[in-house]
Homo-oligomer: A and B are copies of this chain.
Amino acid sequence: MPETAPLCYKDAPATPLSAMSNQAEANIPFSARVSIEQVEEGTELAPKFDEHGLIACVTTAAGSGEVLMLGYMNEEALKRTIATGEAHYFSRSRQVLWHKGATSGLVQKVVELRIDDDQDAVWLRVEIPGDASCHVGYRSCFYRSVPVGPGDFGRVLKFEESEKVFDPKQVYGDAPNPTKL
């Protein structure tokens, strides 16, 4: 099955990795975490992965600032993202490395990669060819809002994108939906 997954196709199938040499990946240094000052105030990359070996990643559109997706990276995905300048994630349900857009062409070009204070979260600002979008058919995965604030009213989700950018049936065919109940 081709990797046709746009932005938030979190469980896209494993794809052939790009032809990056192991040497390039090996050249991405991750420092040991030795002190709070080093982690927060220093210039060494010392990421913290959770008990599953993952780090959370927020991905926004470099132009609009819109939050497109929230994904996860393992050590290899983060190193490949840094080395190639193209977003790589780790699919939690499929347990595979995922080079976003390797087959579909909807590669996320990393304009900027930031890491947070305690280095347990990553923020990618990306550019994507075309108006790439969520596997449901929308531009961003976050296409619905929830009414907030005091008051005894319904909390019916509101669609913030009025039209789908593409027809997921045409793009994915019979591929299994990545959403899990």
A interface residues, Cβ below 8 angstroms from B = 8, 10, 24, 27-29, 33-36, 39-45, 48, 56, 58, 60, 64-67, 69-70, 81-85, 110, 112-118, 121, 123, 134-136, 138, 141-150, 152, 155-160, 177-181
Contacts and interface: CB of A to CB of B under 8 A. Distances in A.
Contact of A41 (B118, B136, B152): B136
A65 to B, nearest CB: 3
A159 to B, nearest CB: 8
Kindly report how many copies of this chain are found in the complex they form together. Answer: 2
A155 to B, nearest CB: 6
A130 to B, nearest CB: 19
A179 B36 contact: yes
A48 B179 CA distance: 11
Contacts of A142: 114-116, 121, 123
Given A70-B58, A84-B150, A114-B142, A28 B155 contact: yes
